[in-house]
């Protein structure tokens, strides 16, 4: 286990969150096994149990995520400039209350599909891929895959070029213009803001806590909750046992090479995906088996932007050197 993340077995023991059986875990919100070796965590989202918080003004998971992350939400400098060379920019700052899609101010959302009279609610957020193209292909190294399983964006390094969104099979990261390091590099025409997305509550995990959405859902539903968080091997075991019980399906175990956000459903995900596409949702549930499937699209993106990336990288290096110099002088 990587000490850098403060995510050690000892931490969980200290916090009293360590349990040795899935049954006990259901009562604590944390799934753990005595034999866990990977040190990587995952979430299971059981679609047979999520009711979309229909009777609540806001789904509890969404509300908790917003509360947990509001200090990280962007406050853009006005007027927001266009993204060179385009005549557009991304601004969600006047639509902070939007909750029916992912935005820089809303890192999780709950979709609804009607499957022949049955309503299915699907909480969506970053899948935290095991081999994330967003982190592997970010030209500025602003994304990291941590040993706890999370994929998180360093907002201080992100230039908002949106490469991560382009290569993400689910297009999860969302951009806010008018914030971030790119403003300091102007007139170098690089970047366009900062990207935002779910970070699996990386900071909470470091402290031995479960993600805020998981905690809030459990507070409302107790043992009937659809969200489970714990070591990936225990979570996978739980998903397979439950899938066998209900003759169901798992999404995320193999998609994009494996992810740390897993879904369980009684209905095949191909059918759920078709419904999402029918509804023209921008968050689908495709089978993404080959992480290099879209290699041509990625390659195209890199052909279009190498100059911008190179200029940005030079600017970023100069900015960092300048900042380090100033800090040394203090
Ligand atoms: S995951 Fe839990 S909190 Fe979120 S919508 Fe479903 S039941 Fe509500
Ligand atoms: S779902 Fe998208 S943003 Fe999240 S880790 Fe995977 S590639 Fe990155
Ligand atoms: S894990 Fe944390 S950041 Fe991600 S959706 Fe849940 S509360 Fe939000």
How confident is the model at residue 325, as a pLDDT? 55
Question: CB pairs under 8 A, 24+ apart, for 95-103?
Answer: 99/58, 99/59, 99/62, 101/282, 101/283, 102/172, 102/174, 102/197, 102/283, 103/174, 103/196
How confident is the model at residue 312, as a pLDDT? 54
Report whether pLDDT(293) > 80: no
* Atom nearest to 173 CA in ligand 2: 3
Neighbours of 316 (CB within 10 A): 23
Range of weakest confidence among 43-52, 74-83, 166-175, 298-307: 298-307
124 close to ligand 1 (CB < 6 Angstrom): no
Q: Structural domain boundaries of the chain?
A: 51-229+291-329
173 close to ligand 2 (CB < 6 Angstrom): yes
Q: Does domain 51-229+291-329 have CATH number 3.30.70.20?
A: yes
257 close to ligand 1 (CB < 6 Angstrom): no
Range of weakest confidence among 181-185, 266-270, 307-311: 307-311
DSSP assignment of 123-134: EE----BSS-HH
pTM: 0.82
What is the pLDDT averaged over residues 222-227? Answer: 97
61 close to ligand 1 (CB < 6 Angstrom): yes
Q: Whose CA is nearest to atom 6 of ligand 2?
A: 129
How confident is the model at residue 182, as a pLDDT? 86
110-158 confidence digits (pLDDT tens)? 999 999 889 999 999 999 999 999 999 998 999 999 999 999 999 999 9
Reported confidence tier of residue 83, pLDDT bands at 50, 70, 90: confident
Express as a percent the part of the chain with pLDDT over 70: 74
């Amino acid at each position: 286990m990587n000490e850098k993340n403060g995510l050690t077995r000892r931490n969980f023991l200290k916090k009293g969150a360590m349990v040795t059986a899935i049954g006990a875990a259901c009562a604590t919100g944390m799934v753990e096994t005595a034999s866990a070796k990977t040190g990587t965590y995952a979430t299971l989202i059981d679609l047979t149990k999520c009711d979309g918080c229909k009777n609540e003004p806001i789904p509890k998971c969404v509300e908790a995520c917003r509360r947990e992350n509001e200090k990280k939400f962007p406050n853009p400098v006005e007027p927001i400039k266009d993204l060179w060379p385009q005549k557009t920019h991304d601004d969600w700052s006047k639509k902070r209350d939007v909750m029916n899609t992912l935005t820089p101010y809303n890192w999780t959302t709950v979709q609804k599909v009607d499957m022949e009279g049955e309503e299915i609610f699907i909480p969506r957020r970053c899948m935290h891929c095991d081999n994330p193209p967003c982190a592997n292909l970010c030209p500025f190294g602003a994304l990291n895959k941590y040993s706890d399983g999370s994929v998180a964006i360093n907002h201080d390094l992100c230039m908002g070029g949106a490469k991560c969104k382009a290569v993400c099979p689910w297009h999860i990261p969302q951009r806010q213009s008018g914030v971030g390091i790119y403003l300091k590099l102007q007139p170098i025409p690089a970047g366009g803001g900062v990207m935002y997305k779910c970070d699996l509550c990386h900071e909470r995990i470091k402290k031995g806590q479960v993600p805020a959405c998981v905690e809030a859902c459990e507070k409302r539903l107790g043992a009937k909750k659809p969200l489970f968080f714990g070591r990936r091997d225990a979570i996978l075991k739980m998903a397979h046992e439950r899938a066998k019980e209900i003759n169901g399906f798992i999404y995320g175990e193999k998609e994009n090479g494996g992810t740390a956000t897993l879904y369980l459903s009684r209905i095949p995900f191909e059918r759920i995906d078709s419904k999402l596409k029918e509804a023209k949702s921008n968050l689908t549930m495709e089978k993404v088996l080959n992480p290099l499937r879209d290699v041509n699209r990625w390659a195209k993106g890199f052909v279009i932007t190498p100059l911008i990336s190179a200029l940005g990288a030079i600017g970023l290096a100069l900015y960092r050197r300048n900042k380090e110099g100033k800090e040394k002088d203090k």
